[in-house]
Amino acid sequence: MIALQVEVPIACFRQSRAREYAETYLVPPPSTVYGMLLSIVGEMNRYKHCGTRLAIALLTKPAKSTIIRTFRRFKKKEISDPTNARPDYQELLTDTQFIVWVDSGIDAESPTLLERLQIAFTHPETINRFGGLCLGESHDLVNSINLLPDHIQTVSLHWLVQDSNGTLILPYWVDHVGSQGTRWRRYLFQELPQKHPPESAWTTIEMT
């Protein structure tokens, strides 16, 4: 198991069913965090490490604000057509800080994603990747990502735990072609002063 502390100054984890008004989840969904982890090691095939388990806990509650920005929706084939762009509202989160624990689970690849992450932090010169490290949209750059420091033992964390009655419905696998293959689970936040994830905090990244 490996634990990583992540800080993102500004981000939007757009709700899957949001349309004109781009609402954000208050926490990055497991599918979004998994994509960031693949980016760290330079892996472009998101199917490769299915079976990996993730646990997420917020260190701080990010502030939410609303902005108006230009969104592009392709109505016309000509990309520069003015009808393809229109202003809409978007929610943003400021100062998102969280910890993600990574466990190999049933990841059958060799090396596993866990092992590749360990290599990325001990021998970063061996990693072949491109672009900035983002969480969510491409302009939501990660400010820092570090191995979990020891002092976290004394901090109370807001754990994202699975609960059949939870009000947070988050994707753990996203179908980028259509919505039919997207998979969801119900979660809630549980504040616990412990360093290691409770069993209910683990989510397996899989297509089923």
- Please give the pLDDT value at position 139: 87
Compute how many other C-beta atoms are within 10 angstroms of the C-beta atom of residue 76. 10
Alpha helix segments (H runs only) across the chain? 30-41, 113-122
Question: What CA dihedral angle connects 98, 30, 4 and 9, to 10 degrees?
Answer: -40
pLDDT of residue 74: 65
Q: To the nearest 5 percent, what fractions of the chain are helix, strand and coil?
A: 15, 40, 45
Q: Domain spans of the chain? A: 2-60+96-204
Write down the pTM of the prediction. 0.88
Sole residue written with tokens 């604000």: 65
Output the tens digit of pLDDT for each of the chain's 208 residues: 899 999 999 999 988 776 667 789 999 999 999 999 999 999 999 999 999 999 999 998 999 999 787 766 666 677 777 766 777 788 999 999 999 999 999 999 999 999 999 999 999 999 999 999 999 888 899 999 999 876 666 578 999 999 999 999 999 998 866 667 789 899 999 998 888 899 999 999 998 7
pLDDT at 176: 67
CATH annotation of 2-60+96-204: 3.30.70.2660
